[in-house]
Amino acid sequence: MIFVTGGAGFIGSNFVLDWLAQSDEPVINFDKLTYAGNLNNLTSINQDPRHIFVQGDICDTALVATLLATHKPRAIVHFAAESHVDRSIHGPGEFVTTNINGTFSLLEAARAYWSGLDDAGKAAFRFLHVSTDEVYGTLGPDDAPFTETTTYAPNSPYSASKAASDHLVRSYHHTYGLPTLTTNCSNNYGPYHFPEKLIPLIITNARAGKPLPIYGDGQQVRDWLYVSDHCAAIRRVLEAGRLGETYNVGGWNEKANLDVVHTLCDILDQLDPKESASPFKGEAGSGMGSYRDQITYVTDRPGHDRRYAIDARKIERELGWKPAETFETGIRKTVQWYLDNQEWVRDVQSGDYLNWVAKNYQQRDENRGDKLGTA
C-alpha cells in the first residue's frame, strides 16, 4: 500500500480518487483536516476498504511512525501543506510549522522506517515530495521557463517554506540515501479546488453575484495544469522516476489572470446565463448581462510574482508524461463540475471561509476598477 499525506485537500483527494480508480493497491490517507481538508471530497470511496483515512498531523512523528510500522507502505506521497500564498502573507507561522517542520518530522519518521526494512524493501521504497514551481521565483516576459536547474528564488512565505522543504528532502537523499523524488508543478485547477484560489473563487463569486477580484492589473501569468494530469505525472514519477531527481510538471498553458477570468465568465455566460432583461443575455463578451460586468480590480498581492512558466521537457523525455487536457477542455470541465456540485460548494463556503474572505478582501481598495476599467 501507499501512504498519502494531505489526501483530503484539493490535489491529494484527486490523487487518491484517481489512484483507486486505476489500481487495487490500498491507500492510507493521513490528513490533519485543516480548513482545506474536506472529507466530502472522498464520499465516493468512504465505503471502499482500500481507503483507510487517519486524521493526524505530519508534525506528529510518533503517530506517523506507528502508522508506517503497522501498515508497511511501499511509498509515501507527500501533499500535506499550507498552500495559499495570501494566507502565508497574513500568517506565515503555520507555513513554517507544517511545510518545514512537518516535512522534517515526516522525513524523520520515513528514514527510521526505511532503515528498518530489508534490502528488497529498502530498494523498492519511495518518498515522493509534491512541490511547486513557486520555489523558482518570478520570470520576466521574455525569460525561458523554469527548468529543474533554475536557481531557487522564492518570494512569498509560502514559496520559501516549500523551498525549505524541497531542500530537506534533497538532503535526506544525499546524506542518508533515502530514496526520494520531488515534483515541482505549476498551478492546478479542476474539481474539489477550494474557492480561496483564483479559478474556483471566480466561478463561485460569479454565480453568487459578487465582485470578481483581480489583483493589480491582472496581467500576471500562470501556467495552468488540469489536476488529473498532475496526478498522472505523480503516478509516473513514483513508478519510474530516478532516485534523488526532481521533475518539473506543467501544462504548457501560460495565461494572464485577466484572460483566465474572461474565459470563465464567457463559459458561465453560455452554461449558466445571468438573469437579465438584456436581449444579449448569455452572449459571451456582449458586456450586457455578462458575468464580466462583475470584474473588479483590487489592490495587488504584496510581492506578487509576475510570471511562472514550466519547462516540462525532462519528465516528457525521461518518463513519457505529457498533459492530456488542453486549457480549453479542462476549464470547461471545471466550470461544469462546479455547476453540478452546488452542495459541495455550499458546504465549503460555510463557517471559517467567510472569515477568510473578510480578512483578505475587505482591506483591499476596490475603487481600482474605476481607474483601470474592466475590459
Residues forming the active site: 133-134, 158
Q: Is 290 in the site for ligand NAD (CB under 6 A)?
A: no
Residues 257, 276: contact at Cβ < 8 Å? no
Q: Is 5 in the site for ligand NAD (CB under 6 A)?
A: yes
Rounded CA separation 274/292 (Å): 11
Name the residue with the smallest CB distance to ligand NAD. 9
Angle, helices 103-115/61-71, rounded to nearest 10 degrees: 40
Judged by CB under 6 A, the residue of 150, 180, 188, 205 near ligand NAD is 188
Residues 31, 53: contact at Cβ < 8 Å? yes
CA angle 213, 336, 250 (to 5 degrees): 70
Spacing of C-alpha 104 from chain mean position: 21
CA trace torsion 264, 194, 223, 304 (10° rounding): 100
Of 212, 344, 188, 194, the closest CA to residue 268 belongs to 212
Residues 182, 233: contact at Cβ < 8 Å? no
Judged by CB under 6 A, the residue of 32, 235, 236, 255 near ligand NAD is 32
Our CB check for ligand NAD shows the closer of 204 and 294 to be: 204
Least distance in angstroms from the C-beta of 323 to ligand DAU: 15
Residue 272, all three cell numbers: 449558466
Please list every residue from 241 through 270 that binds ligand DAU, using CB under 6 A. 257
The residues, any chain, with a CB within 8 Å of residue 209's CB and separated by 6 or more, are: 294
Q: Is 110 in the site for ligand DAU (CB under 6 A)?
A: no
Q: Is 205 in the site for ligand DAU (CB under 6 A)?
A: no
Q: Is 11 in the site for ligand DAU (CB under 6 A)?
A: no
Name the residue with the smallest CB distance to ligand DAU. 132
Residues 192, 155: contact at Cβ < 8 Å? no
Q: Is 130 in the site for ligand NAD (CB under 6 A)?
A: yes
Please list every residue from 115 through 144 that binds ligand DAU, using CB under 6 A. 132-134
- Partner from ligand DAU, ligand NAD, none binding residue 102, C-beta < 5-8 Å depending on class: ligand NAD
Q: Is 345 in the site for ligand NAD (CB under 6 A)?
A: no
Of 100, 82, 153, the closest CA to residue 303 belongs to 153
Q: Is 85 in the site for ligand NAD (CB under 6 A)?
A: no
SS3 assignment, position 182: strand
Q: Which bin fits 110, alpha (ψ -120 to 50), beta or left (φ > 0)?
A: alpha
- Partner from ligand NAD, ligand DAU, none binding residue 201, C-beta < 5-8 Å depending on class: ligand DAU
Interaction pattern, residues 83-102, with ligand DAU; x per rule: CB under 6 A:
xxx-----------------
Q: Name the residues that contact ligand NAD, by CB under 6 A.
A: 5-6, 8-12, 31-34, 36-37, 57-59, 79-83, 98, 102, 130, 132, 162, 185, 187-188, 194
Note the residues at the interface with ligand DAU (CB under 6 A). 83-85, 132-134, 186-187, 197-198, 201, 213-215, 220, 222, 257, 301, 308
